[in-house]
Amino acid sequence: MKDRVQKTRVLPCLILWSICLIPFGVSAKTIMIVGDSLSAGYGIQPQQGWVNLLQKRLDQHYPKQHKVVNASMSGETTSGAVARLPKLLQTHRPDIVVIELGGNDGLRGQPPQMIQKNLANLVQQSQKAQAKVIVFGMKMPPNYGQAYGKAFENNYKVISQQYKVKLLPFFMQGVAGHKSLMQQDQIHPNAKAQTILLNNAYPYIQSAL
C-alpha cells in the first residue's frame, strides 16, 4: 500500500518535470523566405547561403521545432512573386513569410509606385493566409540617382507602416560596398557575407516566432 502511494506521488512529479522541459511561448513554425538571388544563394553552394544557415541556427536554439522553406529564385521580381505566391502559401502554409524582394525591380528601373503596389499585394496575400510578415528593405546604388533611390527605399517604410509589419531597413547592411564580401560582379554577396546577412535577419525572425 505504501509503495502504491509513493508511485502515485512520483507520477505527477514526472509529468510536471517533463512539462517544464517544453519551451514556453514557442510553438513549431514554418518560415518561408520569398526572395531573389540574395536569398537563393546565387554563385555559392546552397549550404553556404544565409537561409540554410538560418535553419541550422534555429535547430541549435529550438531543436526540431521550426522548418525553413526557401522559395527564393534568382532574378525574381515583385511581379513574379505576386504570381507565384498563392500556390506557395497553399503548399507550405507558412506561419511567417519573409519578403526579400524589389532589388531586381530597382535595377531594371521599374517605377517605384509599381514596386510598392506589388509589395503591398505580397503582404496582403500573406496576411490573408494568417502569416506574420517581415519585409527586408533594399537600397539602390548611387548611380541610379538620389530621387529614384529615395523613392525606392521609401516603398519599404510605407508598406511597413501601412500594414503594420516588421521591417529590416537594409538587408545588405555591412555587406554592400565591401569588396571582400562581394562576388566579382559586386552585386551578389559571397560565402563570407552570408553570416552577416543571417545576423541582420535573425533578430526579426526570432522575434516573430
Structural domains present in the chain: 29-208 (3.40.50.1110)
Strand order in the sheet with 166-168: 66-70, 29-35, 96-100, 132-136, 166-168
Residue indicated by cell numbers 507550405: 92
pLDDT 10s digits, 127-150: 999 999 999 999 999 999 999 999
Tens digit of pLDDT at every position of the chain (209 positions): 545 545 445 444 444 444 444 444 568 899 999 999 999 999 999 899 999 999 999 999 999 999 999 999 999 999 999 999 999 999 999 999 999 999 999 999 999 999 999 999 999 999 999 999 999 999 999 999 999 999 999 999 999 999 999 999 999 999 999 999 999 999 999 999 999 999 999 999 999 99
Q: Grid coordinates representing 26?
A: 514557442
Instruction: Indicate the SS3 state at residue 135.
Output: strand
Cα angle for residues 123, 171, 115 (degrees, 5° grid): 40
Question: What pLDDT score was predicted for residue 27?
Answer: 80
Question: What pLDDT score was predicted for residue 31?
Answer: 98
Question: What pLDDT score was predicted for residue 3?
Answer: 53
The residues annotated with a catalytic role in the active site are 37, 185, 188
What's the residue count for the chain? 209
Residue indicated by cell numbers 522548418: 67
Nearest to 77, CA basis, from 120, 46, 133, 37 = 37
